[in-house]
């Protein structure tokens, strides 16, 4: 094991070629923020690398489809790479599906400190500090196969800290047997840990959530590996727009005004917990029959959304209600069991089973 400590940023799935989705209409006052969100998140990630004075940046795929993203994204990335290079920070980059669809243009030169891994095989690159190798990065760009093969990233016992940079589905089996201290994984937009130290495998997730399927904070992982091989990871949020799913259960006798008050109370609480953050909120309401019928009427549904948007979605700390989904309650109301109906007969019979 290397006696040298090191620090790096692990990021993936910037997807500079795609905008945020899931909005039927973009509110005018949030238009610029939503359009710029992928770039703002990426820039925060690059700035984190500089502010934290890391040794290098690991990009684990799906940074951009250069063909779809166009000149702006290419120029943006080149500028960010040059900023890192000026600060002595190397970049190790594997391509994912996005890069396979649209490769980096050969006519746009990258700084010497940027290394893009081949998709043909796993290759190893040594990272040096003052002419001393302190880490070996084993990486391979996406080759069309969905599963990562841990054995191909195996390190050597007693050598410098060995880091795997891989894209795709990572199995838990075999991870701990490869002499790899940290697996920097890409392809999943929501962060998760596959295995914990001493052989940590982690998906850092996208720098910016793209839709309601990607709720919660998004960002990058700041990783420190000590000279003894201890891995310490710290999540650093970079998103400027954050999706939330808010669930509310409404009591049987609750009225439309009760529901409105509960939703307002929840938004006040949510904004207080995340000051300065722009939130896109999808509601899931477990409603009684009366409320469900009322919310099915476009006038009432749209009226409730408009009220919530005007009160909570216009400020600096905005919580914009995107939509409301109504689901039936988990429990059947007690009085339904006493009905002299076919449903009442069925419920009474089912209760006796």
Any idea which of 21-25, 35-39, 320-324 has the lowest mean pLDDT? 21-25
pLDDT for the residue 336: 60
Quick count: other Cβ atoms within 10 Å of Cβ 20? 20
Q: 149 exposed, middle or buried (CB, 10 Å; 0-12, 13-18, 19+)?
A: middle
Q: How confident is the model at residue 42 (pLDDT cuts 50, 70, 90)?
A: very high
pLDDT for the residue 348: 66
Query: Virtual CA dihedral for 239, 243, 244, 245, nearest 10 degrees?
Result: -150
Rounded Cα distance between 289 and 173, Å, is: 48
Alpha helices in 52-199 (DSSP H): 66-69, 71-86, 97-101
pLDDT for the residue 218: 99
Break the chain into its structural domains and give their ranges.
6-237, 241-335
Phi–psi pair at 114, nearest 5 degrees: -100, 125
**Domain covering 6-237, topology:** Purple Acid Phosphatase; chain A, domain 2 (3.60.21)
pLDDT for the residue 4: 87
Regarding predicted confidence, which is higher, 350 or 198? 198
**Average pLDDT of the residues in 31-54:** 98
Q: How confident is the model at residue 320 (pLDDT cuts 50, 70, 90)?
A: very high
Rounded Cα distance between 125 and 161, Å, is: 12
Quick count: other Cβ atoms within 10 Å of Cβ 336? 15
Instruction: Read off the pTM.
Output: 0.90
Regarding predicted confidence, which is higher, 203 or 316? 203
Point out which residues pair with 93 in neighbouring strands.
59, 116
**Average pLDDT of the residues in 20-42:** 92
List strands edge to edge, sheet with 56-60.
114-116, 90-94, 56-60, 6-11, 219-225, 231-237
Q: Does 2 have pLDDT greater than 80? A: no
- Percent of the chain having pLDDT more than 70? 93
Any idea which of 82-86, 89-93, 288-292 has the lowest mean pLDDT? 288-292
Per-residue pLDDT of 330-352, as tens digits, reads 655 555 656 777 656 665 665 55
- CA angle at 310 for the pair 309 and 316, rounded to the nearest 5°: 85
Q: Does 279 have pLDDT greater than 90? A: yes
Report for 183-192, 243-252, 311-320: range of highest mean pLDDT = 183-192
Note whether 221 and 10 are within 8 A (CB).
yes
Per-residue pLDDT of 176-191, as tens digits, reads 999 999 999 999 999 9
Query: In the structure encoding, which two tokens stand for residue 119, read together?
Result: 């998709």
Q: How confident is the model at residue 104 (pLDDT cuts 50, 70, 90)?
A: very high
pLDDT for the residue 347: 53
Element (H, E) at 211: none
**Average pLDDT of the residues in 200-220:** 97
pLDDT for the residue 49: 99
pLDDT for the residue 256: 94
Q: Does 132 have pLDDT greater than 90? A: yes
**Average pLDDT of the residues in 65-84:** 96
Q: Does 130 have pLDDT greater than 90? A: yes
Any idea which of 21-30, 302-311, 336-345 has the lowest mean pLDDT? 336-345
> In sequence order, which residues have a C-beta less than 8 Å from that of residue 275 and are 6 or more positions away?
317
**Average pLDDT of the residues in 82-98:** 98
pLDDT for the residue 44: 99
**Average pLDDT of the residues in 114-137:** 97
pLDDT for the residue 335: 59
Query: In the structure encoding, which two tokens stand for residue 235, read together?
Result: 């999540």
List strands edge to edge, sheet with 200-203.
123-129, 132-139, 161-167, 182-186, 200-203, 192-195
Note whether 115 and 81 are within 8 A (CB).
no
- Look over the chain and give the mean of its residue pLDDT values, rounded to a whole number: 93
> In sequence order, which residues have a C-beta less than 8 Å from that of residue 289 and are 6 or more positions away?
none
> In sequence order, which residues have a C-beta less than 8 Å from that of residue 25 and are 6 or more positions away?
none
Element (H, E) at 305: helix 298-312
Q: How confident is the model at residue 102 (pLDDT cuts 50, 70, 90)?
A: confident
């Amino acid at each position: 094991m290397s006696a040298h400590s090191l620090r790096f940023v692990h990021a993936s799935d910037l997807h500079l070629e795609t905008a945020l989705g899931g909005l039927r209409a973009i509110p005018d006052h949030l238009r610029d923020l939503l359009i710029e969100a992928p770039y703002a998140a990426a820039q925060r990630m690059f700035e984190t690398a500089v502010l934290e004075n890391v040794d290098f940046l690991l990009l684990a795929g799906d940074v951009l489809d250069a063909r779809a993203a166009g000149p702006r994204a290419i120029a943006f990335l080149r500028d960010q790479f040059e900023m890192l290079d000026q600060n002595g920070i190397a970049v190790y980059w594997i391509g994912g599906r996005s890069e396979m669809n649209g490769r980096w243009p050969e006519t746009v030169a990258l700084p010497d400190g940027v290394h893009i891994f081949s998709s043909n095989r796993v290759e190893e690159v040594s990272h040096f500090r003052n002419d001393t190798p302190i880490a070996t990065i084993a990486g391979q760009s996406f080759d069309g196969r969905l599963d990562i093969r841990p054995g191909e990233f195996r390190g050597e016992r007693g050598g410098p800290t060995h880091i795997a940079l891989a894209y795709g589905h990572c199995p838990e089996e075999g991870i701990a047997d490869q002499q790899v201290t940290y697996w920097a994984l890409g392809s999943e937009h929501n962060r998760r840990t596959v295995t914990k130290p001493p052989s940590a495998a982690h998906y850092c997730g996208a720098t910016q959530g793209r839709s309601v399927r990607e709720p919660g904070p998004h960002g990058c992982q700041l990783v420190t590996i000590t000279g003894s091989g201890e891995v310490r990871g710290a999540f650093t949020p970079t998103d400027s727009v954050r999706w939330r799913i808010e669930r509310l259960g409404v009591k049987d006798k609750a009225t439309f005004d009760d529901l409105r008050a509960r939703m307002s109370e929840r938004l006040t609480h949510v904004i207080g917990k995340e000051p300065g953050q722009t939130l896109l909120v999808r509601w899931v309401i477990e409603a009684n029959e009366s409320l469900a019928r009322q919310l099915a009427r476009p006038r009432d549904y749209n009226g409730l959304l408009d009220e919530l948007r005007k009160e909570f979605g216009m400020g600096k700390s905005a919580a914009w209600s995107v939509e409301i989904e109504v689901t039936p309650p988990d429990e059947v109301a007690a009085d339904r069991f006493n009905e002299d109906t076919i449903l009442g007969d069925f419920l009474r019979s089912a209760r006796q089973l």
